[in-house]
Amino acid sequence: MSKYPVIIIGGGLAGLACASRLHQAGIDFQLLEASSDVGGRARTDEVDGFLLDRGFQVLLTAYPEAKRLLDYEALKLARFSPGALIRRQGRFYRFADPWRSPRHAVATVLAPVGSFSDKLRVSRLRAGVCRGKLEDVFQRPETRTIDTLRGRGFSDSIIERFFRPFLGGVFLDRKLETSSRMFEFVFRMFATGAAALPAGGMGAMAQQIAEALPADSIRTAAAVDSLDETNVRLKSGEVLQTEQVVIACEAPAAAKLLGNPVPTPGRGVTCIYFAADNPPIKEPILVLNGDGVGPINNLCVPSEVASSYAPPGKALISVTVLGVAGDGIEDEVRSQLRDWFGAVVNAWRHLRTYRIPFALPAQTPPALSPVAKPARCGERRFCCGDYLDTASIQGAMSTGRRVAEELIALQGQSTTSPDR
């Protein structure tokens, strides 16, 4: 029977961040991933030369943990323009951050998305969330995002036309019931960095981390069925022995392995990809549905951000619908797209639809405590994953690194112990 000092269950960004830190400290581990490859919720499929992320998502370059762990240059990050185009009553209006995009300040002020006072409030919000240390965000009172926005005096107009589609797309929660701490954290990350896509797709982040690890330290198609204090049993029946286990699965899978009740349902999303001969929007910018009518929450043209997302001469369109959509969603979306971009949409080729029931854990207050949640979940067990921190790439990576540091500290204690 094989025996390992540490077994990590789950090869998403949390498990990989843990593995990377352990490797740096010279601690051997075996990472077991149930699916065919690492990356978890941040994977990319290649379909007919198009790169399809499994659900539209972006790397915010300001994430401290991602800066530490990833080589941005090697990932060839391509950045979105700051701000968004808002579809409202038959037109697209530009809503840009005047600090980042001063040439669009006038268009932003004139856009019928909130009042002039709202736009001043956005500047004040920006200054407020960027002040002090990042940890300070988690010390402030926690409420629902919608309550924070109303408490700050934002009008219904800017909430409905900008914040609801924008933050709804980030949290996958149009009601904006997500923690205000998550909102302030995300707003700070958007304000101090860029939203970006790696040239190789979002899955390239996991590939980059995995490639720096010993080849035999990762096993894919190795689903764990159960575990006890010292044994990890795979679904194949194979049993591995270990001194410590790190459970780096998404919240429902982790709860199942631990024998805990499965947590509240997460946030679901549907992402629909189309191929076109020409991009409907010729810039790397997020488009938001400011009317609040129809299935589309947001869309973008990833190939306008990073040309590698589509074969030469083609464009990739990514449409996000909140929740897990039923059959026929492609037709409903196409009908709304026709309204936005005209009959040309009829010629677009549907590439694939991703329905993701558990895309993000729901983080309604109380969700994010000022102090990082303890990583231990048993005598020789540790847990990491985005549900234990901000539900994001940053949160996943940060919990993984923290668990590794606890294991490194434990090993330091045992190697310096006078008893040994």
Ligand X SMILES: Cc1cc2nc3c(=O)[nH]c(=O)nc-3n(C[C@H](O)[C@H](O)[C@H](O)COP(=O)(O)OP(=O)(O)OC[C@H]3O[C@@H](n4cnc5c(N)ncnc54)[C@H](O)[C@@H]3O)c2cc1C
Report the interface residues with ligand X, using CB under 6 A. Answer: 9-15, 32-35, 40-42, 55, 57-58, 223-224, 248-250, 253, 257, 269, 356, 359-360, 385-386, 391-393, 396
Q: How far is the CB of 110 from ligand X (least distance, A)?
A: 29
Query: 239 and 222 in contact (C-beta within 8 Å)?
Result: no
Q: How far is the CB of 49 from ligand X (least distance, A)?
A: 22
Q: How far is the CB of 61 from ligand X (least distance, A)?
A: 11
> What pairs with residue 78 in β-bridges?
197
Query: 318 and 303 in contact (C-beta within 8 Å)?
Result: no
**Pick 13 or 281: Cβ nearer ligand X:** 13
Nearest to 340 by CA among 381, 387, 281: 281
Q: How far is the CB of 124 from ligand X (least distance, A)?
A: 25
**Pick 53 or 142: Cβ nearer ligand X:** 53
Nearest to 62 by CA among 162, 170, 185, 168: 185
Q: Which pair of tokens denotes residue 323?
A: 């929740």
Q: How far is the CB of 182 from ligand X (least distance, A)?
A: 11
**Pick 159 or 251: Cβ nearer ligand X:** 251
Tell me the three-class secondary structure of the chain, residue by residue: CCEEEEEEECCCHHHHHHHHHHHHCCCCCEEECCCCCCCCCCCEEEECCEEEECCCCCEECCCHHHHHHCCHHHHCEEECCCCEEEEECCEEEEECCCCCCHHHHHHHHHCCCCCHHHHHHHHHHHHHHHCCCHHHHHCCCCCEHHHHHHHCCCCHHHHHHHHHHHHHHHHCCCCCCCEHHHHHHHHHHHHHCCEEEECCCCHHHHHHHHHCCCHHHEECCCCEEEECCCEEEECCCCEEEEEEEEECCCHHHHHHHHCCCCCCCCEEEEEEEEEECCCCCCCCCEEEECCCCCCCCEEECHHHHCHHHCCCCCEEEEEEEECCCCCCHHHHHHHHHHHHHCHHHHHCEEEEEEEEEEEECCCCCCCCCCCCCCCEEECCEEECCHHHCCCCHHHHHHHHHHHHHHHHHHHHHHHHCCCC
**Pick 58 or 362: Cβ nearer ligand X:** 58
**Pick 27 or 247: Cβ nearer ligand X:** 247
Q: How far is the CB of 257 from ligand X (least distance, A)?
A: 6
Q: How far is the CB of 285 from ligand X (least distance, A)?
A: 15
**Pick 209 or 345: Cβ nearer ligand X:** 209
Q: How far is the CB of 340 from ligand X (least distance, A)?
A: 22
Query: 300 and 318 in contact (C-beta within 8 Å)?
Result: yes
**Pick 118 or 303: Cβ nearer ligand X:** 303
Q: How far is the CB of 259 from ligand X (least distance, A)?
A: 13
**Pick 356 or 410: Cβ nearer ligand X:** 356
Q: How far is the CB of 360 from ligand X (least distance, A)?
A: 6
Q: How far is the CB of 139 from ligand X (least distance, A)?
A: 22
Q: How many angstroms separate the CA atoms of 186 and 183, rounded?
A: 5
**Pick 197 or 345: Cβ nearer ligand X:** 197
**Pick 107 or 223: Cβ nearer ligand X:** 223
**Pick 182 or 275: Cβ nearer ligand X:** 182
